[in-house]
Structures are given as structure tokens and as C-alpha cells.
């Protein structure tokens, strides 16, 4: 009995000891094996059906086997099959296999390329198999020529990613709009592209943000790039000598290898959107009883015609056009019209039809007043409104451009949200401080537009002086809303010339068509100066980092102009100064610039150059 008891105790002790060891091992995981180094090796191809580069293969399917489980990331956007398919091929990953099933019938004597880009990754670590492509031919030979280059935004020179690049052996201008590409590729994150497996011949190359998915330029909203140049792909084989050294003075071996280079390999294309050619009506709105707005997609060459149905249209209407003339706002001065609950009228306007022709169309519109919904707020008992309490006074909206530190070259601008008139300029006071006194300043206030939306006070400021500007109530009144301005007072100091920097740009290759633009770090345009002489001055610049670019104003309209495919017009050339500039107060910075000296792709400073997805391209 004793022996049996000892055995039981011994077994229990052993079990408890093992449990303790396991517990310690679980708590101290860092002390044990860590599973080895992290896997950073991309998937490797083991075999495929057919073999990569096979000829006389006519089956509508391809299968590629890898050494580990793989997945496809964003295959719809990244995997490109050339020639382009009418029906999208089925591309999927199953375990260690990637399968491609063609939905179109394979063409005879044609080389097919499946460019996976970096869509194939391993399942565990996500290591990418970058630049992988697969090809086969339905004929006796594989086409092996290539064309490569880069796509950039026509304005910002940023590389454009995820854009379709295609070539046509049909060299007519209509091929881009009526025929599918012979072969295609897509740009990578750096805007670079390589069109592979091209057969001998001559080609034109195009870029397209293919919104319709038909491989044709057939929508005005699609961004494009094109070149007049006809390219003939070639290949060059060179014998290159490699030398291996035993040490710094002794040659070990000399080997010879063949280097293959494909041309053209430096194609540069500028991506742009055409100016909107289609014309159509977007919406009508009536946010105030006396305000009717008509919004169009593009500027109108002729004003639309309004035929009232339940009111009488009179001359008591003020017309306001937006800056780019695509929005028309009618301010109704006749109270009998503005008091109508719902205005009904026929709108006759030009519209682009399905074949691109401008036709006159008519819409019948009903416009009630769209009032803003009031948000109910809970009022506590101690803040409950009294029965006889008057509603808060509503004043005319007014904006004044003054700031505590005001530019010496700037005028005071007063802006309003609706037609306004100056009731009395005696209710406006401008004073300059001299010691402890405030000295009244004489000034002239001028209305800047026919509606009274903006007024201007031009003044020759005394540098470094302090001023105060006051507008009394009722200085301005709005005839339609019957509102007037609220009292306004603002004290400010005028900067001195010592507060500013000056940039002087000497243009080496001056033609008279250059327009210079000064940019901030986010590429907002701070100042635009046409180059009337070879030396351009940017005066009164605030201290800070800035950048410089210029465009060639080929049509002399003072603005950068986009391209047009039908008219065979390229966008106006844009160039960037190669370095950032630091403006310091009371400093002159002088630069000499030959904008053709540096290759276009090397011009834009790296810290403001960033890839842009083709779908987000704006210009």
C-alpha cells in the first residue's frame, strides 16, 4: 500500500512540475525560438501552361503555378491584357495558381501579353512580384519589340499613374476615336510605361483615361495625351565587356555579354483634359424670393430666353454673371414677382445633342423659394425668451479685406452678397494716427460693378503708419432685402517696403510669349506676371518659400490653354524653375533662367513633385 501511495505522489509531482514549466514557457515567449527571419522574398514561378513565350498556342486559358499561396491585389486595375479585350478576361488566384480565362476568341498570328504589374503578392507577408508579365503567340513567332516613356500632367508636370497607354498602326487621326488600340499598357506610380511584344511597323502613341472602358477617346471628360510623331520600334544588341578584379590593380577575368536595348525609350507625353465642348443645363435654384440662379456646365455664348407662365417678366431684373460665365443670377426688383410663391417659366437655351451639334431646347421649370431649415434648440427655463422680446436684428452681409498688417500696395475692398447701393459716403471714415491724434484721410469710394456687389477705396498708404477704418450703420443698403450694414470698425498697420522681398527673373531665351507664375508650397498661384521684357519683377512678396514656373502663351490670351485633339492642338508648354526659392524680408533675389536648358522631366523640384492617379487628373 505504501509503494502505491508513493507512486501516486510521485506522478502528481511530475505533472505539477510539467505544468509549471509550460506556464513559464508561455509567459516568457521572447526567450524561445522566434520563427527565423521575416520572409521578404516575392513569389516564384515554378511552371505554367503554356510556357512563357510559347508559340502556336490557341487555347483560351493560361495557368501559372507559384512556389507559395498567392493573391491578386486590385487585379481589375492592375492586370492589363494586350491586345485589349472586348470582354474582360477572368483573372483570379486559387491557392498557388493564377488562372486567366479569355472571354474573347483569340486572334490568329497574334502575340498576347498579360502584364500583372505588381498585382501578384504572397499570401503571408504581402511581398510583391513586381513587373511580371506573361506572353504567348497564336502564330509561329513572338513579337518582341517595345516602346517606353513617361506620362506627365501638362500643367504641374507631375507623373500620372494608372493611365492607359495605347498604340495604333493605323496612322489616321480618326483611329483614336473609332478603333481599339493595337496594344496597350498602363503607367506605373512614376508615370512610366512600357508597351511590350510589338510587331514590326510604324505606330502612333496615345494616353487615355478610359472612362467608358471601350479603349476609344469618345467622351469629353476623358483626359488624353497624343503626339504627331510616328514611331518605328527597333532593337539594338551590344556586346558589353564586364571586368572582375582580384584586387585594385589585378584583373581576375574578363567576360562578354550581350546587352539588348529597345527604342524608342524616352517618349514624353503631356496629359490634359480638353475644354468642355458639350453644353447643357445643370439646375435652377431660388434661395431667396428675389434671386433666381441658372447653372450651366460651361460658359454660354448667348443668354437663355425666359418665357414667364404665371408672372410678367419686366425690365426690373438685374443680371449677374459668374466669373467664368457658367452661372446666371437674376435679381428681381419687382416685388409683385418676388412675392409669387412658385415661379413657373419656360427656359430656352442651347444644348449639345448626341452627335455634338448645338441645338435650342426648352425646359419648363417651377421654382418655389428654397428656405433653409431652422434647427430647433432647447431653451432652458432660466434663459426662456420673454413674450415681448424682439427678434435679433438682421444686417446686410458685408466682407472687408482688411487685416491687422495690411499690404502697402493693396486697396480696401468691400464686398456684398446681393445688389447694394452706397447710401452716404459721409458714414465711412478713414483716419491715420499721428502721435496721439487721429487725422481724417480723404478718399474716393468707387463701385466696381453694375450691381453694387463690390466697392473699392484706393489710397496711397504711408508706410508703417497705423489707420482705423469705420463704417457707420446704414452706410450701405440693399434695395431688395431692405437690409443695411452693421457698424464696422477695424484698426490696422500698413507694412513698409522693408517687410517685403523682391524676386527678379532674367529670362535667357526670352520670346515675349512667356507668362510667369509664382507658387507656394502647395502650388497655389500667388502671382502671375506676363514677361513684357526679358527681366520680370515680382515686387512686394511676403517672406517664405516659393516656386516658379512659366507657360508659353501661344494664343496671347494671358491664360494657360489646354489642348484639343480634333484641332490637333497641344496644351501650351509649361516649364518649372528647378529649385525652390526662399524670400526674405528686405532682400532682393535675382535668378537667371533658361527654361529649355534642363530636360522637362528633371525640372520640377522633387519636394513638390508627386504622382497623380489618372482618375484624379483635373487639368
- pLDDT tens digit string along 91-142? 999 999 999 999 999 999 999 999 999 999 999 889 999 999 999 999 999 9
For 62-94, what is each residue's pLDDT tens digit?
999 999 999 999 999 899 999 999 999 999 999
Query: Which residues in 247-268 are b (16+ Cβ under 10 Å) and which e?
Result: eeeeeeeeeeeeeeebbbeebe
Q: What pLDDT score does 385 carry?
A: 55
Q: Quote the pLDDT of residue 363.
A: 96
For residue 60 the three cell numbers come to: 483560351
**Does 388 score more than 80 pLDDT?**
no
pTM of the predicted structure, to 2 decimals: 0.82
Give the three cell numbers for residue 265.
Answer: 525609350
For residues 393 and 420, the model is more confident at 420
Exposure pattern of 371-386 as b/e (b: 16+ CB <10 Å)? eeeeeeeeeeeeeeee
Residue 286: pLDDT band by 50, 70, 90 thresholds? very high
| CA–CA gap between residue 384 and residue 132 (Å, rounded) | 73
Band (27; pLDDT cuts 50, 70, 90): very low
Residue 600's pLDDT is 97
Please check whether residue 84 is in contact with residue 210, taking contact to mean a CB–CB distance below 8 angstroms.
no
Q: Say whether pLDDT at 26 is over 50.
A: no
Query: What is the average pLDDT across 413-421?
Result: 97
In terms of Cα–Cα distance, which of 56, 54, 110, 117 is closest to 85? 110
Q: Per-residue pLDDT for 549 more than 90? A: yes
Give percent of the chain with pLDDT exceeding 90: 78
279 pLDDT higher than 50: yes
Distance CA 34, CA 23 (A): 18
* DSSP code at position 600: G
User: Does the pLDDT at position 21 exceed 70?
Assistant: no
Nearest to residue 215, comparing CAs of 179, 245, 169, 255? 179
> Is pLDDT of 377 > 90?
no
Amino acid at each position: 500500500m505504501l509503494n502505491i501511495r508513493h507512486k501516486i505522489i510521485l506522478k502528481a509531482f511530475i505533472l505539477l512540475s510539467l505544468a509549471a514549466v509550460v506556464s513559464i514557457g508561455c509567459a516568457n515567449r521572447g526567450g524561445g525560438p522566434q520563427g527565423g527571419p521575416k520572409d521578404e522574398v516575392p513569389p516564384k514561378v515554378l511552371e505554367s501552361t503554356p510556357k512563357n513565350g510559347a508559340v502556336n498556342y490557341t487555347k483560351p486559358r493560361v495557368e501559372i503555378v507559384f512556389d507559395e499561396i498567392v493573391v491578386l491585389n486590385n487585379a481589375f486595375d492592375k492586370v492589363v491584357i494586350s491586345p485589349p479585350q472586348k470582354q474582360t478576361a477572368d483573372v483570379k488566384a486559387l491557392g498557388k495558381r493564377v488562372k486567366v480565362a479569355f472571354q474573347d476568341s483569340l486572334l490568329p498570328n497574334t502575340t498576347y501579353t498579360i502584364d500583372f504589374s505588381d498585382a501578384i503578392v504572397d499570401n503571408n507577408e504581402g511581398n510583391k512580384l513586381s513587373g511580371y508579365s506573361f506572353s504567348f503567340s497564336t502564330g509561329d513567332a513572338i513579337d518582341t519589340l517595345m516602346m517606353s516613356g513617361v506620362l506627365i500632367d501638362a500643367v504641374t508636370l507631375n507623373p500620372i499613374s494608372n493611365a492607359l497607354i495605347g498604340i495604333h498602326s493605323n496612322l489616321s487621326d480618326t483611329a483614336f476615336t473609332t478603333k481599339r488600340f493595337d496594344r496597350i499598357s498602363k503607367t506605373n506610380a512614376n508615370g512610366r510605361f512600357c508597351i511590350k511584344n510589338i510587331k514590326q511597323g510604324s505606330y502612333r502613341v496615345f494616353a487615355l483615361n478610359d472612362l467608358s472602358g471601350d479603349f476609344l477617346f469618345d467622351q469629353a471628360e476623358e483626359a488624353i495625351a497624343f503626339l504627331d510623331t510616328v514611331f518605328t520600334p527597333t532593337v539594338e544588341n551590344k556586346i558589353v565587356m564586364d571586368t572582375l578584379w582580384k584586387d585594385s590593380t589585378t584583373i581576375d577575368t574578363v567576360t562578354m555579354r550581350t546587352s539588348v536595348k529597345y527604342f524608342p525609350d524616352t517618349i514624353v507625353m503631356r496629359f490634359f483634359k480638353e475644354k468642355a465642348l458639350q453644353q447643357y443645363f445643370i439646375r435652377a435654384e431660388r434661395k431667396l424670393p428675389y434671386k433666381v440662379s441658372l447653372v450651366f456646365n460651361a460658359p454660354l455664348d448667348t443668354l437663355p430666353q425666359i418665357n414667364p407662365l404665371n408672372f410678367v417678366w419686366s425690365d426690373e431684373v438685374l443680371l449677374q454673371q459668374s466669373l467664368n460665365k457658367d452661372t446666371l443670377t437674376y435679381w428681381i426688383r419687382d416685388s409683385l414677382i418676388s412675392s409669387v410663391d412658385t415661379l413657373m417659366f419656360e427656359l430656352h437655351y442651347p444644348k449639345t445633342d448626341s452627335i455634338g451639334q448645338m441645338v435650342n431646347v426648352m425646359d419648363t421649370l417651377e421654382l418655389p423659394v428654397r428656405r433653409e431649415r431652422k434647427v430647433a434648440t432647447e431653451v432652458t427655463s432660466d434663459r426662456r425668451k420673454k413674450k415681448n422680446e424682439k427678434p435679433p436684428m438682421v444686417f446686410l452681409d458685408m466682407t472687408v479685406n482688411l487685416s491687422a498688417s495690411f499690404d502697402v500696395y493693396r486697396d480696401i475692398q468691400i464686398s456684398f452678397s446681393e445688389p447694394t447701393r452706397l447710401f452716404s459716403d459721409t458714414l465711412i471714415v478713414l483716419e491715420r494716427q499721428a502721435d496721439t491724434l487721429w487725422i481724417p484721410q480723404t478718399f474716393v469710394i468707387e463701385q466696381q460693378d453694375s450691381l453694387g456687389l463690390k466697392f473699392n477705396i484706393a489710397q496711397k498708404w504711408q508706410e508703417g503708419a497705423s489707420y482705423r477704418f469705420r463704417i457707420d450703420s446704414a452706410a450701405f443698403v440693399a434695395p431688395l432685402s431692405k437690409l443695411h450694414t452693421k457698424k464696422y470698425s477695424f484698426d490696422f498697420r500698413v507694412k513698409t517696403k522693408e517687410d517685403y522681398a523682391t524676386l527678379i527673373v532674367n529670362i535667357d531665351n526670352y520670346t515675349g510669349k512667356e507668362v510667369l507664375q509664382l507658387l507656394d508650397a502647395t502650388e497655389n498661384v500667388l502671382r502671375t506676371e506676363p514677361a513684357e521684357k526679358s527681366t520680370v519683377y515680382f515686387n512686394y512678396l511676403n517672406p517664405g518659400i516659393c516656386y516658379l514656373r512659366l507657360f508659353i502663351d501661344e494664343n496671347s490670351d494671358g491664360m494657360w490653354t489646354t489642348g484639343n485633339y480634333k484641332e490637333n492642338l497641344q496644351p501650351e508648354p509649361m516649364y518649372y524653375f528647378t529649385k525652390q526659392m526662399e524670400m526674405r524680408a528686405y532682400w532682393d533675389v535675382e535668378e537667371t533662367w533658361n527654361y529649355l536648358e534642363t530636360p522637362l522631366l528633371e525640372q520640377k523640384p522633387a519636394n513638390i513633385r508627386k504622382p497623380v492617379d489618372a482618375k484624379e487628373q483635373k487639368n
